[in-house]
Chain A
Amino acid sequence: MNVIETHQLSRRFGRLEAVHGLDLVVPKGVVFALLGPNGAGKSTTIKMLMNLLPSTSGTAQVLGVDSRKLSPRELARIGYVAESMDLPEWMTVRQFLDYCRPFYPTWDTALEKKLLADFELPEPRKLKHLSRGMRMKTALIAALAYHPELLILDEPFSGLDPVVRDDFTRGLIEVSAQGEWTIFVSSHDIEDIERLADWIGVIENGRLRFAEELESLQRRFRRIEVTRASTTPAPQTRPATWLNYEESGLMARFIDSDYAVGDTEKRCADIFPGGTVTATPVPLREIYVTLAHASRGKAA
């Protein structure tokens, strides 16, 4: 079952097309990360999913319901934390949690206490006097304490210092390990996402470039280094799956986006007879950057 499904979801702001024909599927129980540079359309997508912003065209289904018709019943099953959230800052942490609690029949006070302790939040302090990270943590507690089926996080790491970011990510990993959560998180901080996500979607200029399981992505992307024999000339043509190709002396380097053990080596041997091939895994960040460069090159 898919927790989120969009079909040709689009949103215009005047002449600007923030999201264009987005077709996205988020299966149940995964941590789905929507990656993209600033202004790519991540937050707009999430706002449309939360019915905070009407779509210009297309549809989105969240928990099986049209996002434009999300009722309190569905909202009680969705946790939402966003960087731009307008929290009642005059409240203390305690008041805020006390305020949110009655809205959710499934509120888990024990979990609330545990998260409060884990995140080391000062309960009597007003939200407006908290650091950005602490505010996000407070919002996260308020979003987790009722065991939502779907947790939507919009740029949760933005502006957090590395330690807080690490805390936050660990907290999320813990939570995601606890049960049947589906987490939909948007970010441009790839390192944290890599630790967290099962699925990756990349959005750029309002268009979804791809969406794939992280494991499969990491399996098929490899950094390849080939040391040519001195007599072997540089290849004139290369497979399209070889991205970021560069040569330096006898050394050829590229990212293979379609790596398969044996096949890639065989293909390299065909192109670089007598060469030695080394394949190393590629971090998500490099995959993302490679794809971004590749798509820009294509666009150019």
Chain B
Amino acid sequence: MSLYDTNFTGWDWGIVGVYLAASIVIGLWANRYVGNLSNYLLAGRTLRIRLALATMTGTELGLVTVMYSAELGYLQQYASLYLALYEAAFLLIIGLSGFVVYRLRQTAVLTIPEYYERRYSRGVRVVGGSMMVVSGVLNMGLFLKAGAQFLTAISGLQDPLYLKLIMTGLLLLVLFYTVLGGMVSVVITDLVQFVVLGIGMLVVTWFVVSHIGFDGLQDVVTVHDGYVDPTSAVNPTNPNVPAAGIGGGKMVQMAVVLFTALMLWPAGASRTLAVKSSEVAQQLYLYSTIPFLARRALPVLWGIGAFAFFRMNPELLNAFQNEVAASANGGGTGVSSLSATPLFLAKIIPTGILGLVTAGMVAAFMSTHDSYLLCWSGVVTQDIVAPLFGPLSQRQRILSTRISIVVIGAMLLVWGLWYETKANLWEYMATTGTVYLAGVLPVVVGGLYWKRSATAGAYVALLGGVTGVLAMGPAVNWMNLKLKSVQVSFHIENWHMVLATFAISSLGFVVVSLLFPQQTKPSSHQPKGTT
């Protein structure tokens, strides 16, 4: 058996093709339901609980989630499941208490930056919207590559050119139906994608467990010395690389990032704002506990299966490790640790079913991309273009949103083609997300729950989030070199900088709000430049 052997055949390509064509038809059809801006951005705020749950799951259970969770399962085995527990626990807390989401939905804003203007000032809205888009686009930067890596690995395509062509093709398809139908087509396709993806995930889990067996999954720990205890900073499968481990500090970092992201990540928040009432918003979080647990736990299990599979086949493990090393040095076929799980699945899932599973994964890819593109583009129009160049009519706003979708899509393509990350995909996403999350946490929570929150504090908190770029790999390496050159033995880790960014933004918000209190009462009326 060679590394690129696959059960993926022309039949499977056919199944994927039919699914993609159906998505185009839905996009065209949904366009007839876009009568105004509210329809386009929030599907007229008509979502009920089950539909909201399907679209929330469709959005947040993207192929990129599957890929980074499976990658963590392969690299950190069982220990990486702490993230699944975190998400379930945090959603339960938010769903039971309604913390932030209930009050945020009560404000009836279209976007989070619109809330900034209502509570603070128009300037805060523009700055906050800009930070959100920069962070969001950076965060999405590797989605395309992850999706294309899945498809090339599972189908056995080895030429790196295919990676680029697939990235471009997938992006064009998503752009097409998102530009046309906005949130209406996103909701409809999300529902179909939820069903297709859900069945696909269960099928994959069945094949993984059948192939590896419960004994094989147990052997990961007992025979192959797999990683089980996340509080230990040493990964027993890679003990000489500190970054390969988890440990207490990284667990704290992930707790802060995940708790904030679950409440305030714009794509998720847009679902909170699109539901019919505050009560439904709170229910949505409570009922999302299970799908969010599953979105991490199931792909981690596949990654653990891939780890066991490669350990059972040492010749394949050697070939895989050689390819990863070659690709990291600029050669090879672009294979990375992300490819381990799809390469494994390509060998154990039979022809035909593999096509259905791949269609499910393509569904996951599209359902995340469409929502994210619409979300960031809506923010560009509503919170940057309209406040700066408005007033704008609804027609102009829809046009501006459509143009933004295409521009952001082009930026994603360029970023995805040339940026290479040394960290694992999840760490890249947590770091880029921090640029936005560190600022939004004090500004929104303070705005909703603390009367003395002030505009000056909001500016400091949002701009403090920029510190988050220092948590990216090249910046951390540069700082460590500087420390070494001045004989300081302390070694900076990525999570130090992420936590420092949250601390800077939150402390800055409180201190500056107290030093420069709000001169005028926050407005409760509909702000200019909003609909």
Indicate whether A and B interact: no
Give chain A's interface residues, CB within 8 Å of chain B. Answer: none
